Amino acid sequence: MKRCHKCGEAVTIEKVSRRDECEACHSDLRVCLNCRFYDQSKANQCFEPQAEQVLEKDRSNYCDFFQFREEGRKESAKDDAERLWKDLFKKG
């Protein structure tokens, strides 16, 4: 299920265009923070190496690689490493 990055409201729009907004909080939907390629641990915070740099990750953009992320998105490499580190030293 697609969800707004800002308020978490479900998004029912099938193909999100640059002008689409969340019905609940009116924030832009076609933004890096809603994209499946967004990853804070990567260069330019994007997993797609061919994508141009976008400075405002919460503002609508024209990225050709945009794909709305689905709920249950994969952890970033940083999140995964932190989880493994904590598990290593967990008292048990």
The whole-model pTM stands at: 0.73
Helix (H, G, I), strand (E, B) or coil at 68: strand
Q: Could you state, in order of their start, the residue ranges of all structural domains in the chain?
A: 1-92
Helix (H, G, I), strand (E, B) or coil at 85: helix
- Phi and psi torsions of 88, nearest 5°: -65, -40
Mean pLDDT score across all residues of the chain: 88
pLDDT tens per residue across span 42-84: 889 999 999 999 999 999 999 999 999 987 545 566 667 777 7
C-alpha distances out from residue 60 to 34, 57, 63, 92, Å? 10, 8, 9, 46
